Amino acid sequence: VVSLFDRDKASRDDCLGMALVPLDELLERREACFTAPLSLQGSVKLRIRWRSAAAEWAEAREAALAGELEESRLQQQRLKASSEVSLAELAAERRQQDGA
């Protein structure tokens, strides 16, 4: 059951009616559109998507792991660049020492 209200800033929200939404269709399809008659008058069109908490957790975990992998890759690039600079500095020092 869905209760539908209009939102008023100046006064209380008014109930526009209630609608019965057949969720059994979501067992077959993970997303569905419904047009349901309201109990008072009119109808409401809803698009509903079924998402399990396990799927949400798995998506969040994958995103976090992808972020960690990207951060690790960036750290490796920084270390490599830093070590290349250090090697270049050492080579320059040796050339100076050999030339002196």
Lowest mean pLDDT, pick from 14-18, 41-45, 91-95: 91-95
Is 95 found in the same domain as 58?
yes
Is 100 found in the same domain as 56?
yes
First CA to last CA across the chain, in angstroms? 89
Look-up: residue for tokens 């399990």?
52
Is 30 found in the same domain as 7?
yes
Is 99 found in the same domain as 56?
yes
Domain that holds residue 74: 52-100
Is 65 found in the same domain as 37?
no
**40-68 in b/e burial notation, b at 16+ Cβ within 10 A?**
eeeebeeebeeeeeeeeeeeeeeeeeeee
Mean pLDDT of the chain: 83
Phi–psi pair at 57, nearest 5 degrees: -65, -45
For the whole model, what pTM was predicted?
0.44
> How many structural domains comprise the chain?
2
Is 59 found in the same domain as 35?
no
Give residue-wise pLDDT tens across range 57-68.
778 788 888 888
- 88 pLDDT higher than 80: no
How confident is the model at residue 18, as a pLDDT?
93
Is 37 found in the same domain as 57?
no
Is 56 found in the same domain as 45?
no
